[in-house]
């Protein structure tokens, strides 16, 4: 947009700024509240006497001698070895993202370049696949996985998450590829490249931003998955989200709720860095090829 | 002589290194794989069993809140993924229904000398599971608030309702009661308790036909509805987790809560010491002039998978016996209401023990009880909120049960 | 692209989808046509820590024989779909015959679990999807105009509702909207109604769930729209300005048409996700007043110790059919676009 198009009246600036500030409050307040509360004891953060207790922390003060306590963090990371779950999450998310993108770019590219009618039906089938409630799918996996003795391990979970998210990945990447002119790879092929070489050496470099954007969504889906990870991973292979669920437990006994709160806060921190780091790519990513419906 | 020497050496090693987690469970070899729920008492038992690990004995565990959802699939395979399933009297039913666990009589005879007869869960004369801890919903009340209102400790739901009215009248508390009325498990369990308190039968004798649409069912619902009048407006969202802070904030004076959570409520080092000091635990109340408490008793125990080698079954049984040996109940007495020999009830166990003594019935272990239980939990909410009659709610639950039971093959 | 090359490229993706989604869907569809064998019950004595009782048991050996003969159970054709827990044809028919008007008939239908869940699911889908998209769009417009330096953190904080795991997110929110929580207590003050509780009445529960849904869904629309805004051609905007178009007219006639394809994509994804609404119902303990199709499935599979696979399978298939009906307009549009492309 040109600078001229950007100029606007003061009221509009005020209004738009106010709107964004309001939105940020609505969007971030619960989380900031959680960050603040994660340094209190349970009786303060979840106080029924007065919600101000979560801000001032009288019980925390009385029990620990300070208005802030790192007990939740200590409990989660040291006592309950949350770092193991963090490592498992790292493995799962990295592999899910890589495999999703590999499969997705290959498939999305083929769907965007082939003019045959079946591509339409594959895309439609992918949509229907996405409509299936995950909990039904996961319940169906249990018996075969136990029989094949592949239940509970990370690779199984990774491939299942890849598969479940493949329809979304495929649609999104397919739309990106559509926006890249066909001439690009066709001229490369005229120059003697094979289809795969054209894809890898000519198209992918242009697609990089689109790949990053799709990758971010794949990453977030794997990061936050609960249905699959809770049911398909054994205790020692648990990722962060089921581990947090286990802090909450079936009855939230043993005062571990604050472990869960602390764990959630610490699980968000790396995402902050991730978003800051990729912020530019996310934006320019979709710039390169506005997704087509 | 040689063996004596070895024994002394072993004993010496044990004495010299008491912290070293090694225990002679008498297992020669085998693999022990435990699947259990995820709470402290079960951590104690599973860690106990883990002490049996040695060069020839492998002990692994998977403690997860999802255990109920994976146990059937995990024990169906041959060999089963887990050798031990830690279960309760509701979650053992699917394993029994599918014939996935083995009779334990010979193992009990061989290694079960320390078991109490009451720990043996017999089905058709065969021991199918070993119980080691109990749980029940029972009465909690606030001594100080009841005294202030001039009330005697309640023993029946009628007392509770009358007392709640007085507590409110005198302006002591606006919402003197709370109960687990969240739809699903909690609400169903409250109804089951109350209905049994009225002496109701869930099924026509000897058949899987539900029989809850009757005066006792209506009376049970009406009592629950009357109680909800003395609760906060969002009583339909109350579960144990929601009620605990209300209790600690001194908003509630009388509660029928789970024994497994009682120790947190009477913990004078907890967040609300004055409230905890005045919290008294007692047997679950009776209702409608009944003599037995309106409560169901629950146990937690373990069963051994069928699809495993006899060697593994033997090793698993021995390891679990080590996990629930009498010393565990003594050392970890506050953690649970143990059924293990030599257990001395702690103050937190009083409620469950009293309820047990007063003759409360166990939660029915019928193959189709779970189906009815789910149907009840999902169909009472409209009545509780005044949107339909008690009869209609019970009819709805019966209809949902009939549909589900037909699909599960219990009805035709 | 030749068929062979096409197939080579799509193979990995197609393989995982067929293996882990298509195959299960087929088996679920097949399973929904069966009910379990008639259980053979025998009376046995049952002893436990609290006494002995005579009870019925399943004769597992006899059942094993029946299972060997036909492992899927008894063929029931579409019986499960038609029963009271699903489409309830018989009950619905009776209701319409006996009722004195459509209003009371509809009310009676809402007592049937499937229709009760369907109404909430549809209401949720059609309220949350557009509101979430509109909110996301305006946030995108707003964020687009803030100084570059602030954009990174603002984007991150705008994404928070989407990336905090609902497990704890809803726990904390549920606590905040409690009548003694920070939001609930301040709402009481604000509206001057000390009895107000967002968790108590059906209406307020629905509103709370809708608001949560919009809050949770807006970030996705925001990211996609925001990215789309970067591609709005500057020269078109400029010429619109020269023509004297106001700011709103520029948004209305240049920006929105440009973002239309994106909007279709978002609508597609969001309609589908919202139709499968489930987590907030559990998170907000709202099952007394709001159930969804996914909640019914969950309840069949997890609610009881003996999972009702056939029932869950039937509801899952009905969910898929529902999604296909919802997406029909989008599908037709895509079909036309596709044919134009060909």
The DSSP secondary structure of C278-293, one letter per residue, reads -HHHHHTT-TTT---H
Residue B9 has pLDDT above 60, yes or no: no
Q: Are residues C298 and C166 located together in one domain of the fold?
A: yes
* Residue that wins the pLDDT comparison between B364 and A1: B364
Reported as a single tens digit per residue, the pLDDT across A110-122 is: 998 888 888 889 9
Q: Which of C63, C87, C111 finishes a domain?
A: C111
CA distances from A214 to A276, B222, B316, B324, C132 (A): 16, 55, 48, 52, 21
Write down the pLDDT at residue A255.
Answer: 65
For residues A238-245, average pLDDT: 90
First to last CA, chain A: 24
Q: How many alpha carbons lie under 13 Å from residue A223 in its C-beta half-sphere? A: 20
φ/ψ of residue A233, rounded to 5: -115, 140
Compute the distance between CA of residue A129 and CA of residue A127 in angstroms, rounded to an integer: 5
In a domain, C44, yes or no: no
Please indicate whether residue C281 or residue A1 has the higher confidence score (pLDDT).
Answer: C281
Chain C touching partners, 3 or more CB pairs below 8 A: A, B
Rounded average pLDDT over B244-263: 91
Which residues in chain B have their CB less than 8 angstroms from residue A45's CB? none
Say yes or no: C201 and C321 in one domain. Answer: yes
Residue A6 pLDDT class (50, 70, 90 cuts): very low
Distance of alpha carbon C77 from its chain centroid, rounded?
27
> What percent of chain C stands above pLDDT 70?
99
The CA distances from residue C123 to B3, C127, C129, C276, C299, in Å, are 77, 6, 10, 12, 21
Which pLDDT band, with edges at 50, 70 and 90, does A217 fall under? confident
Residue B241 vs residues B79, B179, B236, B264, C167: alpha-carbon distances, Å? 39, 11, 13, 11, 15
Three-class secondary structure of residue C44 per DSSP: strand
Same domain membership, residue C145 and residue C104: no
- pLDDT value at residue A115: 80
Q: What would the mean pLDDT of A121-142 be, rounded to a whole number?
A: 90
User: Residue A18 has what pLDDT?
Assistant: 92
Whether C28 is in a domain gets the answer no
Q: What is the DSSP letter of B361?
A: E
In terms of average pLDDT, the best of A52-56, A166-170, A210-214 is A166-170
Give the chain B residue whose CA is nearest to the CA of A42.
B271
The rounded distance, in Å, linking the Cα atoms of B70 and A145 is 11
pLDDT range class, residue A283, cuts 50, 70, 90: low
CB atoms within 10 A of CB A187: 13
Flag whether pLDDT at C106 surpasses 60: yes
Indicate whether C62 belongs to any domain.
no
Q: C200 and C276: one domain?
A: yes
- Number of domains composing chain C: 2
What's C306's domain CATH number?
Answer: 1.10.3720.10
**Is the ipTM beyond the 0.85 threshold?**
yes
Q: Are residues C97 and C199 located together in one domain of the fold?
A: no
Are C297 and C232 found together in one domain? yes
Supply C38's token pair.
């008639």
Residue C205 lies in a domain: yes
Query: Considering only CA atoms, which of B58, B41, B43 is closest in space to residue B309?
Result: B58
Q: Are residues C276 and C209 in the same domain?
A: yes
Question: Is the pLDDT reported for residue B7 higher than 50?
Answer: no
**pLDDT band, very low/low/confident/very high, at C163 (cuts 50, 70, 90):** confident
What is the bridge-based pairing of β-strands B120-123 and B57-63? Answer: unpaired
pLDDT in tens, B126-137: 999 999 999 999
Judge: C84–B366 Cβ closer than 8 Å, yes or no.
no
How many whole angstroms separate alpha carbon B175 and alpha carbon B152? 19
Residue A2 has pLDDT above 80, yes or no: no
CA B152 – CA C119 distance, rounded (Å): 49
- For residue B14, what pLDDT is reported? 41
Mean per-residue pLDDT of chain C: 88
pLDDT over threshold 60, residue C2: yes
Question: Is any Cβ of chain A less than 8 angstroms from the Cβ of B242?
Answer: no
Same domain, C246 and C275: yes
- Point out the least confidently predicted range of A187-201, B79-93, C252-266, C319-333: C252-266
Q: Would you place residue B4 in the very low, low, confident or very high pLDDT band (cuts 50, 70, 90)?
A: very low
For the beta carbon of residue B99, count every other beta carbon within 10 angstroms.
17
Do the bridges between strand B126-142 and strand B337-338 make them parallel or antiparallel, or are there none, so unpaired?
antiparallel
Reported as a pLDDT band with limits 50, 70 and 90, residue A127 is confident
A274 class by beta-carbon count within 10 Å (0-12 exposed, 13-18 middle, 19+ buried): middle
Average pLDDT for residues C76-86, to the nearest whole number? 90
Burial class (CB in 10 A: 0-12, 13-18, 19+), A205: exposed
Q: Is residue C51 part of a domain?
A: no
pLDDT at position A157, please?
96
The Cα–Cα gap between B408 and A121 comes to 37
Q: Which residues of C touch B130 (CB under 8 A)?
A: none
- Within 8 A by CB and 6+ apart from A171, the residues are A108, A123, A126, A127, C265
Would you state the pLDDT for residue B406? 92
Residue C5 lies in a domain: no
Share of chain C above pLDDT 90, in %: 35
Whether the predicted pLDDT of B12 surpasses 70: no
What pLDDT, on the 0 to 100 scale, is given for residue A254? 55
pLDDT in tens, B376-393: 999 999 999 998 999 999
Q: In 3D, which of A260, A37, C180, C177 has the Cα closest to residue B246?
A: C180
* Cβ–Cβ gap B370/C111 under 8 Å: no
Neighbours of chain A (3+ CB pairs under 8 A): B, C
pLDDT at residue C342 in the model: 59
Looking at the predicted structure, is the pLDDT value of residue B19 above 60? no
pLDDT above 70 (res C52): yes
Give the residue-averaged pLDDT of B238-263: 90
Among B271, B275, B332, B348, most A C-beta atoms within 10 A, so best to mutate, is: B271
A90 Cα distance to chain centroid: 12
Q: Which residues of C touch B118 (CB under 8 A)?
A: 48-50
Residues B190-219: tens digit of each pLDDT? 999 999 999 999 999 889 999 999 999 999
For residue B317, give Cα distances in angstroms to B59, B84, B320, C229: 12, 8, 5, 66
Residue B3's pLDDT band (boundaries 50, 70, 90)?
very low
Model confidence at B271, in pLDDT bands (50, 70, 90)? confident
- Pairing relation of β-strands B254-258 and B126-142? antiparallel
In terms of pTM, does the model score above 0.80? Answer: yes
Print burial letters for A8-45: b (CB count within 10 Å at least 16), e (below 16): eeeeeeeebeeebeebbebbbebbebbbebbbbbbbbb
- Give the pLDDT confidence of A66-98 residue by residue, as tens digits: 889 888 999 899 988 899 999 999 999 999 999
Examine residue C34 and state whether it is found in any structural domain, yes or no: no
Minimal Cβ distance to B271: which of A43, A242, A250: A43
Orientation of helix C166-176 relative to helix A10-37, angle to 10°: 100
- Does residue C307 share a domain with residue C162? yes
- Give the domain extent around C230: 113-341
Instruction: Compute how many other C-beta atoms are within 10 angstroms of the C-beta atom of residue C45.
Output: 13
User: To the nearest 5 percent, what fractions of chain A are helix, strand and coil?
Assistant: 80, 0, 20
Does the pLDDT of residue C1 top 90, yes or no? no
Q: Minimal Cα distance from B38: which residue of A?
A: A249
Nearest Cα to Cα of residue A28 among A272, A243, A257: A272
Which of C111, C135, C163 corresponds to the end of one domain?
Answer: C111
Q: Does the beta-carbon distance from B239 to C35 stay under 8 Å? A: no
State how far the Cα of B355 lies from the Cα of B134, in Å rounded to an integer: 11
Helix (H/G/I), strand (E/B), else coil: B127? strand
C26 burial (CB, 10 Å; 0-12 / 13-18 / 19+) is: exposed
From the number of C-beta atoms within 10 Å of its C-beta (0-12, 13-18, 19+), residue A90 rates as middle
Which of C111, C134, C153 finishes a domain?
C111
Q: Is the pLDDT of residue B316 over 70?
A: yes
> Does residue C97 lie in a domain region?
yes
Q: How confident is the model over C298-313, as a mean pLDDT?
A: 87
Where b means 16+ CB within 10 Å and e means fewer, C158-193 reads bbbbbbbbbbbbbbbbbbbbbbbbbbbbebbeeeee
In this complex, which of C152, C165, C176 lies closest to A30 when CB atoms are compared? C176
Sequence-ordered alpha helix ranges (H) in B173-325 = 185-197, 215-228, 240-248, 262-265, 273-277, 310-323
- Mean pLDDT score of chain A, rounded to an integer? 85
Per-residue pLDDT band at C208 (split at 50, 70, 90): very high
Distance from CA of B98 to the nearest CA of A (A): 14
Per-residue pLDDT, A65: 85
Strand partners, C51: C48
Neighbour tally for C265: CB within 10 Å: 20
Please tell me the distance from the alpha carbon of residue C210 to that of residue C131, in angstroms, as a whole number. Answer: 9
Check CB contact under 8 Å for B74 and A146: yes
Most confident of A30-44, A51-65, A180-194, C130-144: C130-144
Whether C236 and C333 map to the same domain: the answer is: yes
Check whether residue C82 and residue C165 sit in a common domain: no
Q: How many CA atoms lie within 13 A of C338 on its CB side?
A: 23
Whether the CB of A94 is below 8 Å from some CB of chain C: the reply is no
Q: Is the pLDDT of residue B35 over 60?
A: yes
Q: Tell me the range of A225-234, C244-253, C258-267 where mean pLDDT is highest.
A: A225-234
Q: How far apart are the first and last CA of chain B?
A: 70
Q: Which residues contact C121 (CB under 8 A, 6 or more apart)?
A: C275, C277, C292, C293, C294, C322
CA trace torsion A159, C25, C320, A171 (10° rounding)? 40
Check A129 against C22: CB less than 8 A apart: yes
Give the residue, A286 or A233, on which the prediction is more confident: A233
Mutual angle of helices A117-131 and C256-275, in 10-degree steps: 50
Place of tokens 């693999």: B31
Residue B257, classed as helix, strand or coil, is strand
pLDDT for position B150? 94
Query: So what's the pLDDT on residue C59?
Result: 87
Q: Are residues C279 and C235 in the same domain?
A: yes
Residue A293 pLDDT exceeds 70: no
Query: Scanning the structure block, which residue is given the tokens 């305006």?
Result: C138
């Amino acid at each position: 947009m040109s600078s001229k198009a950007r100029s606007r009246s003061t009221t509009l600036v005020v209004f738009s700024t106010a709107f964004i500030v309001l939105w940020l409050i609505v969007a971030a307040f619960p989380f900031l509240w959680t960050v603040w509360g994660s340094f209190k004891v349970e009786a303060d953060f979840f106080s029924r006497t007065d919600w101000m207790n979560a801000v001032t922390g009288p019980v925390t003060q009385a029990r620990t001698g300070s208005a802030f306590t790192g007990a939740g963090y200590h409990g989660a990371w040291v006592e309950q070895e949350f770092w193991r779950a963090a490592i498992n999450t790292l493995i799962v998310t990295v592999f899910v993202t890589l495999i999703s993108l590999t499969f997705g770019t290959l498939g999305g590219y083929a769907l965007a370049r082939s003019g045959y009618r079946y591509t339409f039906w594959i895309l439609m089938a992918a949509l229907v696949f996405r409509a299936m409630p995950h909990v039904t799918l996961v319940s169906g996996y249990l018996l075969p996985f136990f029989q094949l003795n592949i239940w509970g391990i990370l690779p199984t979970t990774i491939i299942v998450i890849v598969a479940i998210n493949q329809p979304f990945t495929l649609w999104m990447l397919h739309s990106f590829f559509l926006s890249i002119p066909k001439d690009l790879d066709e001229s490369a092929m005229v120059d003697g490249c094979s289809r795969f070489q054209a894809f890898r050496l000519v198209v992918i470099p242009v697609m990089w931003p689109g790949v990053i954007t799709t990758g971010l969504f794949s990453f977030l889906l794997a990061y936050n998955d609960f249905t699959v990870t809770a049911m398909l991973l054994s205790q020692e292979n648990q990722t962060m989200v089921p581990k947090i669920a286990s802090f909450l437990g079936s009855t939230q006994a043993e005062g571990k709720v604050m472990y869960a709160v602390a764990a959630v806060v610490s699980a968000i921190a790396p995402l902050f860095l991730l978003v800051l780091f990729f912020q530019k790519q996310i934006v320019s990513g979709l710039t390169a090829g506005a997704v087509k419906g | 002589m040689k063996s004596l020497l070895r024994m002394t050496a072993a004993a010496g090693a044990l004495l010299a290194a008491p912290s070293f987690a090694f225990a002679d469970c008498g297992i020669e070899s085998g693999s022990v794989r435990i699947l259990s729920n995820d709470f402290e008492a079960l951590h104690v038992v599973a860690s106990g069993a883990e002490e049996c690990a040695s060069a020839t004995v492998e002990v692994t565990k998977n403690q997860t809140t999802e255990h109920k959802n994976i146990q059937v699939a995990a024990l169906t395979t041959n060999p089963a993924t887990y050798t031990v399933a830690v279960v309760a009297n509701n979650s053992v039913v699917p394993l029994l229904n599918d014939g996935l666990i083995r009779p334990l009589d010979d193992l009990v005879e061989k290694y079960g000398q320390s078991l109490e007869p009451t720990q043996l869960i017999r089905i058709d004369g065969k021991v199918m599971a070993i119980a080691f801890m109990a749980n029940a919903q029972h009465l909690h009340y606030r001594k100080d608030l009841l005294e202030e209102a001039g009330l005697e400790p309640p023993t029946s739901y009628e007392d509770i309702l009358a007392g709640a009215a007085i507590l409110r009248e005198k302006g002591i508390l606006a919402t003197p009661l709370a109960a687990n009325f969240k739809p699903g498990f909690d609400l169903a369990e409250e109804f089951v308790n109350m209905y049994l308190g009225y002496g109701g039968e869930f099924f026509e004798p000897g058949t899987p036909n539900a029989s809850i649409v009757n005066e006792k069912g209506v009376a049970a619902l009406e009592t629950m509805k009357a109680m909800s009048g003395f609760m906060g407006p969002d009583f339909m969202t109350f579960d144990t987790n929601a009620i605990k802070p209300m209790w600690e904030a001194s908003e509630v004076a009388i509660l029928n809560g789970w024994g497994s959570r009682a120790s947190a409520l009477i913990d004078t080092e907890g967040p609300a010491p004055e409230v905890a000091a005045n919290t008294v635990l007692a047997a679950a109340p009776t209702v409608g002039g009944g003599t037995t408490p309106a409560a169901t008793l629950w146990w937690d125990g373990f069963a051994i998978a069928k699809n495993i080698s006899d060697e593994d079954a033997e090793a698993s049984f021995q390891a679990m016996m080590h996990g629930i040996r009498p010393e565990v109940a003594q050392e970890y007495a506050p953690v649970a209401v143990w059924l293990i020999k030599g257990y001395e009830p702690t103050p937190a166990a009083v409620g469950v023990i009293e309820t047990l003594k007063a003759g409360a019935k166990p939660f029915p272990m019928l193959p189709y009880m779970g189906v009815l239980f789910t149907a009840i939990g999902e169909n009472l909410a409209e009545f509780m909120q005044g949107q339909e009659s008690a009869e209609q709610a019970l009819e709805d639950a019966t209809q949902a049960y009939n549909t589900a039971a037909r699909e599960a093959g219990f009805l035709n | 692209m030749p068929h062979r090359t096409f197939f080579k490229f799509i193979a990995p993706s197609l393989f995982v989808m067929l293996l882990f989604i298509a195959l299960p869907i087929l088996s679920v569809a097949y399973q929904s046509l069966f009910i379990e064998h008639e259980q053979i019950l025998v009376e046995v004595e049952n002893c436990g820590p609290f006494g002995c009782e005579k009870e019925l048991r399943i004769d597992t050996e006899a059942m094993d024989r029946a299972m060997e003969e036909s492992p899927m159970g008894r063929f029931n054709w579409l019986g499960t779909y038609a029963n009271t827990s699903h489409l309830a044809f018989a009950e619905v028919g009776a209701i319409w015959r006996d009722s004195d008007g459509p209003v009371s008939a509809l009310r009676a239908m809402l007592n049937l679990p499937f229709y009760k869940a369907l109404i909430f699911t549809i209401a949720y889908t059609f309220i949350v999807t557009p509101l979430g998209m509109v909110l996301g769009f305006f946030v995108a417009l707003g964020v687009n105009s803030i100084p570059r330096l602030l954009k990174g953190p603002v984007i991150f904080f705008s994404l928070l509702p989407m990336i905090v795991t609902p497990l704890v997110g809803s726990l904390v929110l549920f606590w905040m909207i409690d009548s003694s929580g920070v939001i609930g207590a301040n709402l009481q003050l604000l509206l001057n109604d000390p009895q107000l509780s967002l968790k108590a009445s059906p209406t307020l529960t629905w509103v709370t769930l809708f608001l949560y849904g919009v809050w949770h869904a807006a970030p996705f629309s925001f990211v996609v729209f925001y990215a789309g805004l970067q591609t709005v051609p500057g020269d078109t905007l400029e010429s619109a300005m020269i023509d004297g178009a106001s700011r709103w007219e520029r948004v209305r006639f240049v920006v929105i048409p440009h973002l239309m394809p994106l909007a279709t994509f978002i609508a597609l994804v969001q309609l589908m996700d919202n139709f499968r609404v489930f987590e907030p119902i559990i998170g907000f303990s709202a099952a007394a007043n709001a159930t969804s199709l996914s909640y019914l499935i969950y309840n069949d599979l997890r609610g009881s110790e003996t999972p009702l696979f056939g029932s869950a399978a039937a509801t899952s298939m009905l969910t898929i059919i529902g999604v296909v009906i919802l997406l029909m307009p989008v599908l037709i549009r895509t079909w036309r676009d596709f044919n134009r492309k060909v």
